[in-house]
Every structure is written in C-alpha cells, then in structure tokens.
C-alpha cells in the first residue's frame, strides 16, 4: 500500500470526488443527447495537445486541456452549421486529433518525452494540486447552479429538442452549454483519471443510474453519486494495489454498471417493458 502524507491524501480524495461529480453529472446529458463518443474524442484531443506541448516546450498538461476544451467548443458549431449528426463530427474530429498527435510525436526528440505525453492518457494519483481542487470545486458549484436554474429547460431539451424549440426555448444555447461544461469537466479530470479513461467516468455512472430510474431528477442525483463512489473506491483500490488510478476508477465503475444491469428492475420480465418497443406497436 502506498503511504501518503495526510494533506496529499485529502487533496487527492477531494479531487477524485469532484472529478467523479463533474464527469458523471455531464454524463447524464451526454448519454441522453447521444454524444457518448465525445469523451473518447476529447481524450485523444488531450493526447494530441500533450504531444503538441512537448514539441513546443509548453506544459503538456496545459496544452492537453486547451486541445480537449477547444475540441468540445468547435464540435457544436460544426455539427449545427454542417447539419451533421454530432457523432459524425466527433468521428471526424477524433481522426484529426489522433493524426495530429502522431505528427507532433514525430517531432519530439527522445522517447522520454513521448512517455510523458502518454502519461496524460492514464492519469496519476499524485497529480491533483490545490489549485486544481479549487477549479474543480468551482466547476461543481457552477454545474449545480446551472442545473438548478435551468432544470425545466434542460429537461425539455433532453426529451425532444424540436418540441422544446417549439415551446420557445433557445435549444442551441443549452446544447452548446452542455458541450462547454463537458469540455471543462474532461479537461479538469485529465490529471487524475487520464484522457483515455475519462470517457468511462462520463458514461458508466449515468448508464448505471439509467437502469433504476424513470425520473430525470433521480438520474441527476444518482449518476453523480455513483460517479463519486466509483472514484473513491477506485482511489482506494489504486492505493492498496498500486494500479493506475484511472484504470482503478474505470474498473469499479464498470463493475457497478454490470451489477446495475443484473439488478435493473427495468429489465425484469413481467414489468410490462420491452426493450425495443416503438409507438407503431400500438
């Protein structure tokens, strides 16, 4: 087991909790808007950013954050303007990012630097500093405020964007806001969870919560809760086994998801539910 000074331990635990909260809160919207591959795309953007940072002697973490954030920011306008499915644009951006990453890596002298770029992808238990913690806490607070203030608009947009638009809601604003906050959540969680695995922290807790509830409000409460629990248990697992923290968190969240699938009342026979029921079957 890794021995940590108490202050570092508290910072890391709080960091894990906030990362779990912001990622799995945004997961509720990302999953509902069918943008599941956004995390995957941004993690590769982070990888490209880290490679760019090493190539230009900028802090690779800063450049990784900027790359993943900018990717989230241009995703919305591109899919709106080009009238393309968001997942098509995500696939397009993903391939560009991975291509850029390889080009940047090609210009980095020595293998040690490439290793630094790769470390951005799997995160580190010791990487969360006091400033990171403050920013994560601030983002968590802003997210709670955003959801409380705009709950009715968010629910309408998540149900059906065109219907929400027809009621007089500016749906574009909320769509972009979700992308904006997801970009922030991913960027700030990179240090701890790692770019490659942050994707799972967005998807798994929400998918687990979806197995139990039909009420959007409950999903918004339980998804972050599962995210925080996954991060805390993952953190503990990482301490006792010396596994990479990102991997530990993902393993725990995946186990929770598997248990949720098994226990899900929505999937039990005799519940009046068919997994693929359409309105045409009236």
Q: Is 160 among the residues that bind another protein (CB under 8 A)?
A: yes
| Closest-CA residue to 161 (of 147, 170, 171, 173) | 171
Q: Is 149 among the residues that bind another protein (CB under 8 A)?
A: yes
Q: Which two tokens stand for residue 20?
A: 């779990």
Q: Is 155 among the residues that bind another protein (CB under 8 A)?
A: yes
Q: Which two tokens stand for residue 65?
A: 């954050």
Which CB, 10 or 173, lies closer to another protein?
Answer: 173
First to last CA, the chain: 59
Least distance between another protein and beta carbon 39 (Å): 20
Least distance between another protein and beta carbon 238 (Å): 32
Q: Any idea what the Cα angle at residue 27 is, between residues 26 and 30, rounded to 5°?
A: 90
Please report, for residues 6, 83, 165, the alpha-carbon distance to residue 25 in angstroms, rounded to integers and kept in the order given: 28, 27, 24
Q: Tell me, residue by residue from 9 to 48, as one string, x for binding to another protein by CB under 8 A and - for no binding.
A: -----------------------x----------------
Least distance between another protein and beta carbon 177 (Å): 12
Least distance between another protein and beta carbon 176 (Å): 15
Q: Is 162 among the residues that bind another protein (CB under 8 A)?
A: yes
Q: Tell me, residue by residue from 197 to 236, as one string, x for binding to another protein by CB under 8 A and - for no binding.
A: -------------x--xxxxxxx-----------------
Q: Interaction with another protein in 64-123: which residues (CB under 8 A)?
A: 83
Figure out which of the listed residues 58, 84, 96, 165 binds another protein, where binding follows CB under 8 A: 165
Q: Is 272 among the residues that bind another protein (CB under 8 A)?
A: yes
What number of other Cβ atoms are within 10 A of residue 232's Cβ? 16
Figure out which of the listed residues 168, 262, 269, 270 binds another protein, where binding follows CB under 8 A: 168
What does the alpha-carbon distance between residue 280 and residue 282 come to, in Å, rounded to a whole number? 5
Q: Is 262 among the residues that bind another protein (CB under 8 A)?
A: no
What does the alpha-carbon distance between residue 226 and residue 247 come to, in Å, rounded to a whole number? 16
What does the alpha-carbon distance between residue 64 and residue 70 come to, in Å, rounded to a whole number? 10
The residues, any chain, with a CB within 8 Å of residue 146's CB and separated by 6 or more, are 177, 181
Q: Is 159 among the residues that bind another protein (CB under 8 A)?
A: yes
Figure out which of the listed residues 74, 170, 258, 265 binds another protein, where binding follows CB under 8 A: 170
Figure out which of the listed residues 92, 150, 176, 180 binds another protein, where binding follows CB under 8 A: 150
Torsion of the alpha carbons at 217, 219, 225 and 231, rounded to the nearest 10: -150
- Which ranges constitute the DSSP H helices of 107-170? 111-122, 130-149, 151-159, 161-166
Figure out which of the listed residues 163, 240, 258, 263 binds another protein, where binding follows CB under 8 A: 163
Contact window for another protein (CB under 8 A) among 35-43, 175-183, 242-250, 274-282: 274-282
| Closest-CA residue to 89 (of 74, 69, 101, 100) | 74
What does the alpha-carbon distance between residue 51 and residue 56 come to, in Å, rounded to a whole number? 9
Q: Which two tokens stand for residue 88?
A: 């098509």
Which CB, 106 or 271, lies closer to another protein?
Answer: 271
Report the interface residues with another protein, using CB under 8 A. 32, 83, 149-150, 152-153, 155-156, 158-160, 162-170, 210, 213-219, 266, 272-282
């Amino acid at each position: 087991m890794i021995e940590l000074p108490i202050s570092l331990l508290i910072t890391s635990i709080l960091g894990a909790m906030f990362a779990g909260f912001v990622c799995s809160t945004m997961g509720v919207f990302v999953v509902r808007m069918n943008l599941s591959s956004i995390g995957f795309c941004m993690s590769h953007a982070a990888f490209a950013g880290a490679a760019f940072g090493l190539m230009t002697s900028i802090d690779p973490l800063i450049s990784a954050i900027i790359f993943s954030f900018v990717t989230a920011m241009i995703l919305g306008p591109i899919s709106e303007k080009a009238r393309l499915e968001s997942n098509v644009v995500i696939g397009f951006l993903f391939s560009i990012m991975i291509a850029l990453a390889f080009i940047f890596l090609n210009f980095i002298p020595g293998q040690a630097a490439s290793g630094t770029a790769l470390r951005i992808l799997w995160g580190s238990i010791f990487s969360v500093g006091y400033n990171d913690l403050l920013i994560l806490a601030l983002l968590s607070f802003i997210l709670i405020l955003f959801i409380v203030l705009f709950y009715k608009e968010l629910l309408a947009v998540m149900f059906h964007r065109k219907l929400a638009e027809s009621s007089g809601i500016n749906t574009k604003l909320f769509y972009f806001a979700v992308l904006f906050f997801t970009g922030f959540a991913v960027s700030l969680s990179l240090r701890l969870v790692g770019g490659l695995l942050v994707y799972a922290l967005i998807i798994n807790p929400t998918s687990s919560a979806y197995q139990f509830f039909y009420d959007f409000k409950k999903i918004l409460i339980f998804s972050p809760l599962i995210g925080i629990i996954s991060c805390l248990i993952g953190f503990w697992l990482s301490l006792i086994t010396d596994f990479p923290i990102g991997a530990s968190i993902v393993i725990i969240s995946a186990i929770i998801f598997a248990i949720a699938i098994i226990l899900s009342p929505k999937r039990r026979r005799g519940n009046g539910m068919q997994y693929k029921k359409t309105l045409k079957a009236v």
